[in-house]
Chain A
Amino acid sequence: GENVEQHPSTLSVQEGDSAVIKCTYSDSASNYFPWYKQELGKGPQLIIDIRSNVGEKKDQRIAVTLNKTAKHFSLHITETQPEDSAVYFCAASEASGGGADGLTFGKGTHLIIQP
């Protein structure tokens, strides 16, 4: 089955600086890579995703890159703000025409934005 590794487990950055979280996956059949943000006491919330037919996707201060050859993908947050403090999870799945497959999650990164 799929195995997703995520690092670092904790990341502390100064407000306004950039943050980068990296993940690797093992199953070459995986073709869908979402990133989730989880705040205390809440469920994970999708913030951005990328499919294997593109190498990069950007949404305002958030961007994700994918390297299929190396089987790794990264989340980039620029101009970090206090509200970006949360736990971030990467995930991978093989989304086939027969229906969505379950996501395999990384262990999470606790992002701390220092004022």
Chain B
Amino acid sequence: DAGVIQSPRHEVTEMGQEVTLRCKPISGHNSLFWYRQTMMRGLELLIYFNNNVPIDDSGMPEDRFSAKMPNASFSTLKIQPSEPRDSAVYFCASSHRVGEAFFGQGTRLTVV
């Protein structure tokens, strides 16, 4: 298995633009997580899905952030409109039921 696949690896965008991050979880995993990593706040859970259903989105910073999981093999995290303070590395992770989470390589987002 290729592991969790995220795209793009790097994204530079202007303030106000829409940004879409993509994730393909490991086949057979039924939980998917989106995390954000910054120097100041560390690794923060944004939202997670079980069996494609959003379970907890209390970590989503504000309404500009939204996430979807239309099927078991694909998820997106969208920021609209983007702001400079959204600059961070965004990680997607997947896991079995009650199993460990496997992380992707991350998307480094820079909003200028």
Contact = CB atoms under 8 A, between A and B. Distances in A.
Interface string A54-72: 0000000000000000000
B37 to A, nearest CB: 9
A36 B100 CA distance: 10
SS class, residues of chain B in contact with chain A = strand
Nearest to B94: A100
B64 interface: no
A100 B43 contact: no
Interface string B75-112: 00000000000000001010111111111111000000
Interface residues of B, number: 28
B33 A95 contact: no
Interface residues of A, number: 24
Contact of A100 (B31, B44, B91): B31
B91 A43 contact: yes
A115 interface: no
A99 B51 contact: yes
Interface of A: 32, 34, 36, 42-46, 49, 89, 95-108
